[in-house]
Chain A
Amino acid sequence: MKIVVAVKQVPDSAAKVSVENGEVSWGDAPLVINPWDEFAVEAALLLTEEHGGDVVAVSLGDEDSKEALKHALAMGCSEAILISDPSLQNADTQAVAHALAAAIQKVGDVDMAVFGKQAIDGDNAVTPVQVARVLGWPALTLTSKISELDADAKTLKVERSIEEGRQIVEGKLPAVMSVVKDFGEPRYPSFMGIRKASKAEIPVWSAADLGADVPAAVVSWPEMSNPQAREVSNEIIEGGSPEEIAATLADKIIEEGVV
């Protein structure tokens, strides 16, 4: 199987993100591979370990995004490609989807494109379905498990996590899949993997290289702000036995009118 996994470089989830002078800042927190995408890389690697084949990691972003790709290579992906172009600077999810879909076509003979659930910066969670639509492939999103996969017949059966529980869906390859945490803990890059990744030459594809029309962004986000500081009057409830504390606390919660 040939699998493409899409990864994004984002500020670490432990970062204190704020807006300073109109610019988004995450202080000295590191940029890392989007945590959801680590699950996607793991899922892609597990699939090729079972069914044979290769995993190609693709990222869209500036030069910095090579670090996310190197992480994917260190985990075990065999190839990495960066899509980078000044015209994609303010790309919205639709433009990103068209660019990623074009890259997947250019890689060629891809059986599956695997995504994380969402990126923890933009929190859009629509890129997997949008890429699927541009490609005309089925979208098997929020997959927690692949229960059957026949690489020759190009069919599969997956379990998806939805609000009401799990949904079992049969589909055909090629397909887009997004994965949730239940798929499996991402492996740590091996020492050999890290060495290999650090030496890897990562090709950069421009918009022209993609050979597809990437539409101009229609969604803009001209203004970012810090949420209002939470005004909380703290009240520590103390004194007496746990039963007395609990009684006071229950009364106060009821007074707030929230139960």
Chain B
Amino acid sequence: MANKVWVFVDQFKGEGHPASWEVVAAGRKLADEVGSGLTALVFGEGVEAVAQTAIHYGADEVLLADGAPLAEFRVEAYASQLAKLAQDDTPDVILFPTTTRARELAGMAAIDLNSGVLPDVIAMDLEGDTIVVTRPVYAGKLLAKSQCAAKPQLITLRARAFGKPEADESRSGEVKSVDVVVDEGTMATQVVDYATSDGQVSLTDASVIVSGGRGTSNRADLEPPADITDEKEQEIWRAQQGFLLIGELAEVLGAAVGASRAAVDAGYIPYTHQVGQTGKVVGPDLYIASGISGAIQHLAGMRTSKVIVAINKDPDAPIFKLARFGVVGDLYDIVPALTAAFKERLDK
């Protein structure tokens, strides 16, 4: 009999996304609870090694769809492949990591399977054979209990919400090759190229984030080069000096660099760094907010961080209310000193 619990393993260029292994581990736990085996789905081209890793993290078997039409992730192709397998074997639940790829895959597959999707879930409770999930809505200002009455229940799990997975290389399981059902002739898209970012730590995976806000430009005695005469450009230049300091601290901590919406809107730093309701929602172990006052839409995006540190000149800044540790001071003084202190202590 086919297993009731399935997990989808998101991979990019043959590397399993770290959030996938959290999902395999969470799927293992759920499968044990319902007394089922755990099936992992691995799609791609030349991704046998990913299938083995899924077994190490807890899968009993892997359905491996390996072939050219699946070489690059295209949501249409992956959804067709996934829907076909799920129609044949009728699992009760399929878990996905909340990566951009897997979230869209779950959404699209829900249409093919006449079921529903529960995205970005932070907790699951079993009630009979229905999974009642908890998911943050309004950027985490509220929590919703939600469930799907149809099967399979398609659920994407938020990264870092289900604990750290442990690989056991002695585990064994069966890798079953399945037919690739995607016909390249019917596909309307082609992936042409990638322009990957230069080794920066991604915000959603980061265990430490150092963020900067408007305060990065608040150093009037910093003299911009003579050729920058425009006042707005001078402000941006000052802010960039502040973000350089933040970047140095981030590097020592192996952290990602974040920013407030105010800093992004002012042109200090690209949008990809924005944390908050209209940016990325994050929950690292350590969040250092420097020169960020703490607008409600920013707080909504980082309030679940384990330890929050606030560095701000204004003692009344709302960010201090969430902070475990606060320093009332200038980030231009404190951040470089903190970088030096960590360098010494972490032996870097």
- Chain A positions within 8 Å of B, measured between CB atoms, are 11, 13-19, 24, 35-36, 92-94, 97, 120-127, 129-130, 132-134, 137-142, 157, 159, 161-172, 175, 180-182, 215, 217-227, 230, 232-238, 242-243, 245-247, 249-254, 256, 258-259
Contact = CB atoms under 8 A, between A and B. Distances in A.
Contact of B326 (A127, A230, A236): A236
Contacts, number: 263
A52 B184 CA distance: 32
A14 B112 contact: no
B195 interface: yes
Nearest to B110: A94
Interface stretch (B20-28, B38-46, B171-179, B337-345): B337-345
Contact of B327 (A222, A232, A238, A258): A238
Interface string B315-337: 00000111111111100011001
Contacts of B29: none
Interface centre among B188, B326, B328 (most CB of A within 10 A): B188
A93 B297 contact: no
B309 interface: yes
Interface residues of B, number: 91
A243 B76 CA distance: 55
Given A168-B193, A250-B338, A18 B142 contact: yes
Interface centre among B107, B195, B196, B327 (most CB of A within 10 A): B107
B197 interface: yes
Contacts of B141: 16-18, 227
A142 B197 CA distance: 16
Contact of B342 (A11, A225, A242, A250): A250
B307 A256 contact: yes
Nearest to B79: A133
A246 B112 CA distance: 55
B140 A130 contact: no
Contacts of A132: 76, 108
Interface string B129-167: 000000111111111111111100000000000000000
A219 B142 contact: no
A238 B328 CA distance: 7
Per DSSP, are chain B's interface residues mostly helix, strand or loop, or mixed? mixed
B272 to A, nearest CB: 7
A134 B272 CA distance: 30
B323 A245 contact: no
B12 A164 contact: yes
B341 A130 contact: no
A242 B145 contact: no
Q: What 4 pairs between A and B have smallest CB-CB spacing?
A: A126-B107, A246-B337, A165-B196, A250-B341
A225 to B, nearest CB: 5
A222 B17 CA distance: 32
B333 A258 contact: no
Contacts of B208: 258-259
B323 A234 contact: yes
Given A93-B116, A125-B119, A246-B338, A234 B194 contact: no
A162 B196 CA distance: 9
A92 B116 contact: yes
B145 A222 contact: yes
Given A165-B197, A175-B188, A220-B146, A93 B333 contact: no
A36 B297 CA distance: 14
Contact of A180 (B75, B111, B271, B333): B271
B188 A172 contact: yes
A224 B136 CA distance: 10
Contacts of A130: 107-108, 110-111
A245 B204 CA distance: 29
Contacts of A221: 137, 144-146
A133 B111 contact: yes
Contacts of A126: 103-104, 106-108, 110, 117, 119
B71 interface: no
B190 interface: yes
A234 B324 contact: yes
Given A13-B277, A168-B194, A234-B323, A243 B340 contact: yes
B145 A245 contact: no
Given A120-B278, A133-B112, A14 B148 contact: no
Nearest to A185: B265
B324 A233 contact: yes
B296 interface: yes
Nearest to A120: B277
Given A138-B76, A218-B149, A97 B111 contact: yes
